[in-house]
């Protein structure tokens, strides 16, 4: 989790005995710091040569306040604090190129007010020296697949992974990926709004009437109608906790899904049963905590829709923590944009997150 300490690879340039010091304001081309700015926190890592050091991370929920209508500018001081203090706490070198990868919460901020977000990114760069990019969902999926492949090794036997985060979901493979702004929190929020339920921090979705359940299934399928064309035929492994802990635990409490996979038939039957219960009954039956129980049925509906879209009879399970940082640190396009950030911000105003895919070489380098 974001609140845990993680290992970052840091190059302590200019600090070894006998090294020639670079000018104070000149970034070291071979030293990079990257920040994973997700929906619930900021974590960081550096790369280069030298021995590893411990890098702290910072819990910071941006997604929930944004979904509730809070302005991003009110959250920026906490973001600035994390970007400044995390490298200091880890004693990373000061002369590194610094890049922030903004994921689901930042894509939401762009959809809410792209022009205002562009100004905020300029402010963050001026105040912290970090060039923040809004990373497209498909690129996030590629990062996730790389991370899962490295973490799972031979345990990953499928062509794609399913990663459900707080604000987005990715079905990601080596060559083809699909990303959409439907994560655990954002999908539940959208579903509650559609069904006319209270859409607070966690709405009371349960129990569902038969017609409401049908409406929810149709909505999920409609949201994922482009998934088959984007990823093609394949197999799938769910790697994130909403499925590996939430959905699997619920199915096991019903006496099914005892192995390392779940079947579409078992999942559909469980949805039919659990959706008729009040939340307290679901908690008593499954033993799930407050982190999973309120989202259980909406998570199950999302997984069911993914399996239907890909025509899958089963879904493999292999939990691992996605770490976008190694792929972000290797992303040459992203770091090229960090060196031409004013031009990137202008492209963001024009193209939205797709600005990432445009060519940085077309901009004058500062």
Q: Which pLDDT belongs to residue 364?
A: 76
Q: Which pLDDT belongs to residue 191?
A: 95
Domain with CATH 3.30.420.40 in the chain: 6-135+331-362
Q: Residues 221, 307: contact at Cβ < 8 Å?
A: no
Q: Which pLDDT belongs to residue 257?
A: 78
Q: Which pLDDT belongs to residue 39?
A: 87
Give the CATH number of domain 138-317; options: 3.40.605.10, 3.40.50.720, 3.30.420.150, 3.40.50.300. Answer: 3.30.420.150
Q: Which pLDDT belongs to residue 103?
A: 96
Domain with CATH 3.30.420.150 in the chain: 138-317
Task: Give the pLDDT means over successive 10-residue stretches in the chain (366 positions).
Answer: 35 31 53 91 76 67 92 95 91 86 96 96 97 96 93 94 95 93 93 82 86 98 97 96 94 88 96 96 91 93 98 95 88 96 97 97 80
3-state SS string for the chain: CCCCCEEECCCCCCCCCCCCCCCCCCCEEEEEEEEEECCCEEEEEEECCCCCEEECEEECCCHHHHHCCCCHHHCHHHHHHHHHHHHHHCCCCCCEEEEEEECHHHHHHHHHCHHHHHHHHHHHHHHHCCEEEECCHHHHHHHHHHHHHHHHHHHCCCCEEEEECCCCEEEEECCCEEEECCCHHHHHHHHHHHCCCCCCCCCCCCCCCHHHHHHHHHHHHHHCCCHHHHHCCCCEEECCHHHHHHHHHHHHHCCCCCCCEEEHHHHHHHHHHHCCCCHHHHHHHHCCCCCCHHHHHHHHHHHHHHHHHCCCCEEEECCCCCCCHHHHHHCHHHHHHHCCHHHHHHHHHHHHHHHHHCCHHHCCCC
Q: Which pLDDT belongs to residue 120?
A: 97
pLDDT digits (tens, 9 = 90+) for 119-152: 999 999 999 999 999 999 999 999 999 999 999 9
CATH architecture of the domain 6-135+331-362 equals: 2-Layer Sandwich (3.30)
pLDDT digits (tens, 9 = 90+) for 34-84: 999 988 899 998 875 343 444 569 999 999 999 989 999 999 999 999 999
Q: Which pLDDT belongs to residue 4?
A: 35
Q: Which pLDDT belongs to residue 232?
A: 94
Say what percent of the chain tops pLDDT 70.
88
């Amino acid at each position: 989790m974001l609140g845990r300490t993680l290992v970052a690879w840091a190059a302590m340039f200019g600090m070894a005995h006998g090294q020639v010091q670079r000018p104070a304001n000149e970034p070291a081309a071979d030293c990079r710091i990257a920040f994973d700015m997700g929906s619930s926190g900021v974590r960081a890592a550096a790369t280069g040569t030298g021995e590893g050091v411990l890098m702290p991370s910072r819990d910071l929920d941006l997604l929930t306040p944004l979904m509730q209508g809070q302005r991003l500018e009110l959250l920026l001081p906490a973001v600035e604090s994390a970007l400044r203090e995390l490298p200091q706490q880890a004693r990373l070198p000061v002369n590194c190129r610094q890049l922030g990868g903004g994921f689901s919460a930042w894509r939401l901020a762009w959809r809410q007010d792209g022009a205002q977000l562009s100004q905020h990114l300029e402010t963050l760069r001026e105040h912290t020296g970090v060039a923040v990019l809004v990373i497209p969902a498909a690129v996030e999926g590629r990062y996730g697949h790389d991370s899962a492949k490295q973490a799972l090794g031979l345990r990953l036997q499928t062509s794609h992974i399913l990663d459900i985060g707080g604000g987005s979901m990715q079905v990601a493979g080596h060559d083809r990926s699909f990303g959409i702004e439907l994560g655990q929190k954002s999908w539940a929020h959208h579903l509650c709004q559609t069904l006319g339920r209270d859409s607070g921090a966690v709405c009371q979705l349960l129990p569902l009437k038969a017609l409401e359940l049908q409406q929810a299934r149709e909505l999920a399928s409609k949201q994922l109608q482009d998934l088959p064309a984007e990823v093609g035929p394949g197999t799938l492994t769910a790697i994130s906790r909403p499925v590996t802990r939430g959905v699997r635990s619920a199915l096991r409490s019903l006496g099914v899904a005892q192995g390392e996979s779940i079947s579409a038939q078992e999942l559909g039957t469980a949805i039919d049963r659990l959706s008729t219960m009040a939340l307290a009954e679901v908690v008593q039956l499954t033993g799930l905590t407050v982190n999973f129980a309120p989202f259980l049925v909406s998570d199950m509906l999302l997984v069911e829709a993914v399996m239907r879209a890909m025509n899958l009879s089963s879904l493999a399970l292999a939990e691992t923590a996605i770490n976008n940082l190694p792929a972000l640190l290797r992303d040459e396009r992203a770091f090229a944009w960090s060196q031409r950030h004013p031009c990137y911000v202008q492209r963001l105003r024009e193209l939205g997150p797709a600005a990432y895919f445009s060519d940085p070489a077309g901009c004058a380098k500062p």
